């Protein structure tokens, strides 16, 4: 009897889904990108659906001045994609800092840079 209970408990535990943090799967522009033309927005793709009310993307120039418009949102057709519009950018290095809360309430954060110009 104990063996049956043990195997049943193990089977239930093994079939329970693992909860993980949202992982950044890609971005536009990509990390360390060297762009000729400035983008109109920064787009981040995650491994899980994101809750935009509890998430943020900030884009700063080399002096630390924010250049995004603060309009962070999920894409209309993809709840795993977070988007923020950015103002017109001059040549230089820009840092993207993000923090997200996935719909299962797990939090994640990170940052990367991209360059505009030669």
Residue 41: CATH number of its domain: 2.60.40.1220
Q: pLDDT tens, 89-103?
A: 999 999 999 999 988
CB 16 within 8 A of CB 97: no
In a domain, 22, yes or no: yes
CB 85 within 8 A of CB 40: yes
In a domain, 1, yes or no: no
pLDDT tens digits for the chain (118 residues)? Answer: 565 544 444 444 443 344 567 899 999 999 999 999 999 999 999 999 999 899 999 999 999 999 999 999 999 899 999 999 999 999 999 999 999 998 888 999 999 999 999 7
- pTM for this structure? 0.80
In a domain, 38, yes or no: yes
pLDDT of residue 39: 97
In a domain, 94, yes or no: yes
In a domain, 8, yes or no: no
In a domain, 101, yes or no: yes
Number of structural domains the chain divides into: 1
Domain that holds residue 53: 18-116
């Amino acid at each position: 009897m104990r063996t049956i209970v043990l195997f049943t408990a193990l089977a239930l535990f093994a079939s329970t889904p693992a909860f993980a943090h949202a992982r950044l799967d890609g971005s536009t522009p990509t990390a360390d990108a060297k762009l000729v033309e400035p983008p109109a927005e920064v787009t981040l793709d995650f491994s899980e659906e994101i809750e935009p009310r509890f998430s943020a993307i900030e884009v700063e120039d080399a002096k630390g001045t924010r250049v995004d418009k603060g309009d962070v949102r999920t894409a209309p057709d993809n709840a795993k994609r977070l988007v923020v519009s950015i103002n017109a950018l001059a040549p230089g290095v820009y840092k993207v800092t993000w923090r997200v809360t996935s719909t299962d309430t797990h939090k994640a954060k990170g940052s990367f840079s991209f360059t505009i110009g030669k």
